[in-house]
Amino acid sequence: MRLNSTKLLLVGAFALMASFSFAQVVEPIDSTKVRQEEGNVSLGETLIIGKGVIDIVEDRKTPVAVSTITKATIEDKAVGNVDFPEIFTTTPSVYVSGQAGGFGDSQMFLRGFSSQNTAYLLNGQPINGMEDGNLYWSNWSAMTEVANQVQIQRGLGSSKLAISSVGGTVNMVTKATDKRQGGFVRFNTGNDSYMSATVSYNTGMKGKWGASFLFNQTTMHRSWAQGTDANSQAYFVSVGYKPNDRHNINFMIFGAPQEHGQNYSTKSVKQWETAEKFGYGNKYNTTYGYFNGKGENLRTNFYHKPVANLNWDWTINENMNLSTVLYASTGTGGGTSGVGVATSSANTKEGLVDFDKFESINASVNGAGGFFNTPTAANPNKTTGRGAAIRTSVNNHFWYGGVTNLNYDTKTGWNFNLGADIRFYHGNHFQQMNKMFGLRSWQDYTKVDGTAKLGQVVAVTDADTFSTNPWSALFKSAKKGQRVGRDYSEDINYQGGFGQIEYSNDIFTVFVQGAVSNQFYQKFDSWNYNGVETASEKVNKLGWNVKGGLSVNINEENTIFGNAGRYSRQPFLDNIFDYNTVNLRDPKVENEEITGFEVGYKYQAKGLRVNINAYHTKWANRFLSTTSSATVAGLERPIFTSYSDVTQIHKGVEIDFDAKVSQVFGLYGFASYGDWKYDGSTPYQKMYSDTDEIIETKNVDLTGVHVGEAAQLTFGMGTKVNFTRNLYWDVDFMYNARVYAQVDPSVINAAKGNYQEQKVAPFARVNTGLAYEFKFGKQSIKFRGNVRNLFNEQYMSRIDSNGYGYAVGRTWNAGVTYNF
């Protein structure tokens, strides 16, 4: 059954009214106690670590806009075949798109800002990519199993680190070493052969020592689209040591190696017509086909990013404590794509990639193997593809650092913090062959002096192919001489210091916070310099931020607050250097300037909590880049568009509430309205990123053009009904509108002042779940089932220059957990 968004609004309202009516006649229980247990069960039983580093705000005290996701909600609603950020969509100004791309390929936006411009912290450790700020949820697929709490701080946030997030800060706090002995075994299943098994055990604190362990295995088949099978594991080990009341030490390692097929989540009108013609529906994948009768995908993502940290909390005296976390992370993996004739253009009558044809083409190529990047007679510096293969873009890194914070509490209202944040990062990026389809060798050409001029031939044989298995990638990847397409690395070092002064009493809280940081960059490239490693100049950029806020308790129930901040944020390394050289961009990319203001009102009384926020963020001198593709002479060519000196203004209002309507019935709701637009003129450049050929260089006036990709209007309501102490049902209704297309400057210029913005139609979803827990002594068995997009609403979640993309339809999952 399919319903339009208007009907879904009525359905959602009816469901909530029905649950309200039912709640009046069921047996009452103490839902206040239930709420307290949901929020505190994990944190109370865990050896708390990083108290001075992990910035979890307090309601009615810290003057920021915040939403908190408890462990109970995570365990109920984040399980199954959905990406982890989906649970954040029940909070204001959060939008998640790209769900149809593949396992973990969703993109989250906060107040219209992507993950690049939202700070993500894991136990106080920054985890955004050092080169580009990106966060890939496939690397954190098992966060559901290990998260104790997630707190979304919209806007300036309360983090004392020298980070300069534009959209906000997402604090993910994992479990540490549990104080009590016990564990659980969980099994989940769902649509499209989804299966997940988890085992966890805690020794409890035996004297001064304790340990917790968790292991997970997850598999699924085409849950998102054709060829998007996924296989992942996860492991979590935490060892705690508490020698006395003044010291807590905890070591943790967490990893989630995964491999999954991908799908271009946006497609052209013609491609969607193909999907309809052959019955593929929303699961049509233009990179999928068959090779010798077996399913094959041009695009596979694989990665393994274990994170280890050592936390030490030292209570120096009753007024002073020191929290320190030392961390290290190594990442190995990448993603595949077709090269030569093997592009993502479908070439069978059914609209699928014809991999068998690739093998026959390869058999006829010179009899000896394929040649990619072969100069043409007309232009020896241009290249053409002959033969077909799949290669892997590898993105490995090693990252280590530390965060420390000294807190001094006078016990008279004054509180002082002083700390440091230091990071060291080295990344390696190259391409290697994955599948050759019968070729005996593959040849490529290096570049000369960072230009399009072709250099020496690099030839690899069919023996020089490498697997996409994430465990294999830990130990085996291409060495010098086996690499094709690109080969570069970079060093990024970061040193930051921060401080905060806060005064608090029963009436008001006021704080001032500041940070300064230095970031060092250097890039090394050998592929574009004829195999000789060439280093860029060393670049240092100084950044800073200052912010402050005031919260006033009018009385026991009513609080008002305001905050303001100014950031000078260093650009990402990927923006500083030209795409395929070690040269600095011209003109040079300087710091981005962010100014934010926010005011809010909080009401909190027995049975009701209400928050209202209004914000204004100006983001100036931004370097912006987008990627797209175009089919040229039968081959799909990647296009890179870069803008400089971009200004964005994001302003809006948010409201959310949580009400205890009766002893058994709770109701929550939220709404947000944003007005996010570009302002002013900006120069831009479009180029084919596989050959650096510049297509277009112009100026474009973006004034009044809406910022795309995220919903500027969100609305939602939900309820939880406790039928008995052990049986409960919940339902969530969410509505999104005003999702505009990603900006395309060439289209704006071509319109000559008559530019008509594209946007997707408003859409709504209903999610629901039912749980029953059977307790016997200290043990229990819990059953939980979820259905997302209950009415199978078919909606577009995004639109860009490549077309538009549908989100996944109805999904379901069910599981059982044995706690002991």
Please report where in the chains the tokens 């008002």 appear, as a residue.
Answer: 560
Weakest-pLDDT range from 158-167, 298-307, 456-465: 158-167
How far, in Å, CA of 566 to CA of 587, rounded? 24
Weakest-pLDDT range from 133-137, 167-171, 579-583, 593-597: 579-583
Residue 487: name the closest of 544, 439, 444 by CA.
444
pLDDT digits (tens, 9 = 90+) for 116-127: 889 998 888 889
Single-letter amino acid code for the residue at 14: F
How far, in Å, CA of 591 to CA of 593, rounded? 6
For residues 331-341, give the mean pLDDT: 92
pLDDT digits (tens, 9 = 90+) for 552-601: 999 999 999 999 999 999 999 999 998 788 999 988 999 999 999 999 99
Q: How confident is the model at residue 476 (pLDDT cuts 50, 70, 90)?
A: very high
pLDDT score at 14: 43
pLDDT score at 442: 87
pLDDT: which is higher, 110 or 221 = 110
pLDDT score at 20: 43
pLDDT > 50? residue 335: yes
Q: Which of 631-635, 798-802, 810-814 has the highest mean pLDDT?
A: 810-814
Q: How confident is the model at residue 800 (pLDDT cuts 50, 70, 90)?
A: confident
- Which residues sit opposite 397 in a β-bridge? 331, 427
How far, in Å, CA of 8 to CA of 543, rounded? 47
The sign of the dihedral angle between the CA atoms of 363, 368, 372, 375 is negative
Q: How confident is the model at residue 416 (pLDDT cuts 50, 70, 90)?
A: very high
CA dihedral 129, 575, 513, 620 (to 10 degrees): -140
Cα 132-571-697 angle, rounded to 5 deg: 90
Surface-to-core class of residue 449, CB atoms within 10 Å of its CB (0-12 exposed, 13-18 middle, 19+ buried)? exposed
For residues 687-704, give the mean pLDDT: 85
pLDDT > 70? residue 440: yes
Provide long-range contacts, Cβ within 8 A and 24+ apart, for 4-11: 5/735, 5/761, 5/762, 5/763, 5/764, 5/793, 5/795, 8/733, 8/735, 8/764, 8/765, 8/766, 8/791, 8/793, 9/735, 9/764, 11/733, 11/766, 11/791
Q: How confident is the model at residue 449 (pLDDT cuts 50, 70, 90)?
A: confident
Single-letter amino acid code for the residue at 539: V
Residue 607: name the closest of 669, 665, 671, 670 by CA.
665
pLDDT score at 375: 54
Weakest-pLDDT range from 308-317, 348-357, 682-691: 682-691
pLDDT score at 300: 96
- In 436-530 the beta strands, taken as DSSP E runs, fall at 441-447, 454-461, 484-504, 508-525
pLDDT: which is higher, 374 or 287 = 287
Q: How confident is the model at residue 1 (pLDDT cuts 50, 70, 90)?
A: very low
How far, in Å, CA of 682 to CA of 685, rounded? 10
Q: How confident is the model at residue 42 (pLDDT cuts 50, 70, 90)?
A: very low
pLDDT > 80? residue 55: no
Weakest-pLDDT range from 315-324, 466-475, 623-632: 623-632
pLDDT digits (tens, 9 = 90+) for 636-663: 677 888 888 999 999 999 999 999 988 8
Buried b (16+ CB within 10 A) or exposed e, 621-654: bbbbbbebbeeeeebebebbbbbbbbbbbbbbeb
Does residue 569 come out as left (phi exceeding 0), alpha (psi in the -120 to 50 range) or beta?
beta
For residues 613-629, give the mean pLDDT: 90
pLDDT score at 550: 95
Record the tokens describing residue 605, joined without a space: 């009384």
For residues 253-267, give the mean pLDDT: 93
Q: How confident is the model at residue 35 (pLDDT cuts 50, 70, 90)?
A: very low
Number of structural domains (the chain) is 1
The CATH number covering residue 808 comes to: 2.40.170.20
pLDDT > 50? residue 33: no
Secondary structure string (H, E, C) spanning 27-53: CCCCHHHHHHHHHHHHHHCECCCCCCC
Contacts of 40 (CB under 8 A, 6+ apart): none
Residue 586 domain boundaries: 5-819
pLDDT > 70? residue 26: no
For residues 323-327, give the mean pLDDT: 93
pLDDT: which is higher, 609 or 50 = 609
- Which residues sit opposite 225 in a β-bridge? none
Weakest-pLDDT range from 381-385, 505-509, 747-751: 381-385
Percentage above 70 pLDDT, the chain: 88
pLDDT > 90? residue 470: yes
Q: How confident is the model at residue 21 (pLDDT cuts 50, 70, 90)?
A: very low
pLDDT score at 50: 61
Q: How confident is the model at residue 673 (pLDDT cuts 50, 70, 90)?
A: very high
- pTM, two decimals, is 0.91
pLDDT score at 381: 53
pLDDT: which is higher, 516 or 363 = 516
Mean pLDDT score of the chain, rounded to an integer? 87
pLDDT digits (tens, 9 = 90+) for 172-228: 988 877 778 999 999 999 998 999 999 999 999 888 999 999 999 999 987 678 999
Residue 231: name the closest of 300, 154, 284 by CA.
300
Residue 284: name the closest of 304, 300, 266 by CA.
266
pLDDT: which is higher, 164 or 579 = 579
pLDDT score at 743: 87
Q: How confident is the model at residue 43 (pLDDT cuts 50, 70, 90)?
A: very low
For residues 706-722, give the mean pLDDT: 96
Contacts of 679 (CB under 8 A, 6+ apart): 647, 648, 649, 702, 703, 704
Cα 63-66-67 angle, rounded to 5 deg: 155
